[in-house]
Amino acid sequence: MRSYVKISSLVFVVLALIITCRPSTQKTSDSEQENELLKKSEIEQSLQEVAFPLPEPFEVYAMLEDIGATYLGKVLNPVDNAENYFSQKDKAINIGVFAADLGYAVTYKNQSDIKIYSKTLKSLVDELGVSIDYSTLQSEESRQDLLDKDSLVSYVADVFYDTYTFLYRENTPALAGLMAAGAWTEGLYIATHISDDTFNNTDIVKIIHEQGKGLEELISLLSNFTEDEKVKNFLEAYKKLDVVYKEAGDSMTEKQLNSITSIIETIRESMIS
């Protein structure tokens, strides 16, 4: 799992010293200084370490490939839907969704979908004003040079993480959270929809069951942005999903699997429609 240091402690220390030592014509009271330092401490605490909680979509696909599950392109979010995302929040969510779709195509080295989904993802990234290096996936020659699947997966993961980091650093942490939600949801959606007889495939059930930990991390992340109405709505849905995972414990019944499948389908539909 990758993590990013958003703003170093040193920066905040320097800022505090500058503010404290600069000349002022107005005397600042001790209580005002304490409040100022408290605010800085709170900001530092919230931004100092932001761990992206969801490498799971990429791990899910690797596990699916390992058990011999075939590639099923029809489960991906249709690229035509990208034209319907107008708000920043919808763009952020579906950057996560399309990044997860691209990760799926890359894992199985489906060249046609890699080309289509990398282009669609780049369009949304640009529309949201995200400044990252996307040149490798834009170049047909570069994509062909990355013949090693692990190298290509690693590159897509870097694009994914860099976009998340950019959103957080640009004072839009809720957008970063929504992007994370889109990615995790798409990963679980794909895992629950690649077979018509999922419950009787114990390997797929195990993969789905293991996503409960990622769900806990996602809930923890989104809980930081409950002032956002869209985040709050998704959070409520994820908590319902978490109840099913908690009830399942160490094993999962067919009824619980069906509940997970139904809930994640509803969440995903609200994201991409």
Helix, strand, or coil (residue 139): coil
Residue-wise pLDDT for 161-182, tens only, equals 888 888 888 868 999 999 999 9
Assess whether 107 and 205 both reside in one domain. Answer: yes
Assess whether 7 and 95 both reside in one domain. Answer: no
> Cα separation of 198 and 205, whole Å?
7
Assess whether 134 and 64 both reside in one domain. Answer: yes
Residue-wise pLDDT for 208-236, tens only, equals 999 998 899 999 999 999 999 999 999 99
pLDDT at position 52, please? Answer: 46
Assess whether 92 and 153 both reside in one domain. Answer: yes
Assess whether 39 and 119 both reside in one domain. Answer: no
Residue-wise pLDDT for 59-87, tens only, equals 788 788 888 888 999 999 999 999 999 99
Assess whether 209 and 165 both reside in one domain. Answer: yes
More confident residue, 20 or 40: 40
Assess whether 62 and 23 both reside in one domain. Answer: no
Average pLDDT, the chain: 78
Q: Taking each helix axis from N to C terminus, what angle separates 111-127 and 149-169, rounded to the nearest 10 degrees? A: 10
Assess whether 27 and 160 both reside in one domain. Answer: no
Assess whether 33 and 152 both reside in one domain. Answer: no
For residue 15, the enclosing domain spans 3-46
Alpha-helical regions (H) of 22-139: 30-47, 56-66, 88-107, 111-127, 135-138
Assess whether 30 and 118 both reside in one domain. Answer: no
Assess whether 120 and 211 both reside in one domain. Answer: yes
Phi then psi for 252, rounded to 5 degrees?
A: -135, 130
Assess whether 17 and 101 both reside in one domain. Answer: no
Domain count for the chain, please give it.
2
User: First vs last Cα of the chain: how many Å apart?
Assistant: 30
Residue-wise pLDDT for 177-205, tens only, equals 999 999 999 999 999 998 878 888 898 99
